[in-house]
Amino acid sequence: MGPNVLVTGGNFKNQGAFLMLVAAGIAVRDYLGGRPVIPLRFGTARQRIDIGYETLLAEERFGVRPRLPQLPRRARDHSPYLFTGDIDAVLDVTGFAFGDQWYNAPLMRRAQNYEWWASRGVPVVMLPQAFGPFELTGEPSRRAISASSAVYPRDETSFKHVEGLLGAASHRRMARYPDFTVKVPARKPEKLTIDEPYWCIVPNWNIYERADKEDARRYVAGLVRVTRFIGALGGRAVGVCHEGARDLELLQEVKREYTELELVSGLNGLELKFVLGRAQGVVSGRYHAIISALSQGVPTVMHGWSHKYSWLAADFGWDGNCVSPFDGGDATIDLLNSYAEAREEMSKSLILSTEKVHSVNLAMWREVAQILEVEDRI
């Protein structure tokens, strides 16, 4: 039997986090020959089973500990759950939490959990994610990274932030690897039909909330202007909610100004990837919505709010397509015009870039197999 691998940092609410859960689960099964595991508090039993995860009977919110007294081996063998003693490795799929943008998050608790696992000889690997800066979150970030057997910053800026944090005690196993969700398969929604051709608008409340009042106004006004432009092209503008209520509120605000906007919400990340993959073009402030589109050859305008977006563009050879969300839509409309003129050529280039990203991902999983001391099946 292969290793039981606990996957932390993912969830079923944020669809980027969900896609990373799915991608990690596939890799654990197919590349490492193991079983992916997630704590009981995440999702429903049906959701966990649907993506092939076992369940850990432990409570991470108050430190990693069993929810029930440790059972005798005979009872554990008949339990539908796994226990902390059954875990052979931990994979962190946070995406972006260790940095000052998330200083209110419970980062110290997560760091202490990783120290707990490391003290028991269980390797912790921080899969590709963004890091830093660390002016407000230095101590928990340093402890979490130091407790890990390997750390994989997703971009060069994050890599330098981690190096600066650790100083002379630079991590013994650190390498830059890109996002690892590019090959997650899309899933056709059961009860959704959108007439083609259509263009997708994917907002991000982080852009709105982190802006000053005037820039926030410009962000929404720009989205309205872009949807009207799409209508003028003769296509349908589809507002895609990739996270939750706050993203949906932004879409509803746009729809009040442009009533022809169709709204899509309530889908999981696999279903949203299907919708995005059939669009003529996408305008997105959501990182994994961008990846879901680019990895299927769909030209995408990127609205970024942190360093991770420009580096993502570089990974796909898509430089010049990450623009300010606060210019009233000018740059976005210019790019959409260019997509209409050369979409087929752009799509082929993006598919080739996706294969290159995937080949680098496979190299990462081979390294993870070495750390876990299992034979890779790649």
% of the chain with per-residue pLDDT over 90? 84
Average pLDDT over residues 49-62: 83
- Amino acid identity, position 72: P
Domains of the chain by range and CATH? Answer: 4-182+357-372 (3.40.50), 198-353 (3.40.50.2000)
- Indicate the burial class of 125 (C-beta count within 10 angstroms; 0-12, 13-18, 19 or more): buried
- Indicate the burial class of 187 (C-beta count within 10 angstroms; 0-12, 13-18, 19 or more): middle
Give the predicted TM-score (pTM) of the model: 0.93
Per residue in 290-335, pLDDT tens? 999 999 999 999 998 888 999 999 999 999 999 999 999 999 999 9
Give yes or no for a contact between 308 and 155, defined as CB atoms under 8 angstroms apart. Answer: yes
Q: On the CB side of 339, how many CA atoms lie within 13 Å of its CA? A: 25
pLDDT higher than 80, residue 73: no
Give yes or no for a contact between 286 and 308, defined as CB atoms under 8 angstroms apart. Answer: no
Predicted local confidence at residue 66, as pLDDT:
44
Per residue in 74-133, pLDDT tens? 555 556 789 999 999 999 999 899 999 877 888 999 999 999 999 999 999 999 999 999
Q: Which long-range contacts (CB under 8 A, 24 or more apart) does 111-116 make?
A: 111/140, 111/141, 111/143, 111/144, 111/147, 112/63, 112/143, 113/8, 113/60, 113/63, 113/64, 114/90, 114/143, 114/144, 114/147, 114/148, 115/143, 115/147, 116/63, 116/64
| 13: confidence class by pLDDT, cuts 50, 70, 90 | very high
**Which residue, 369, 297, 286, is CA-closest to 95?**
286
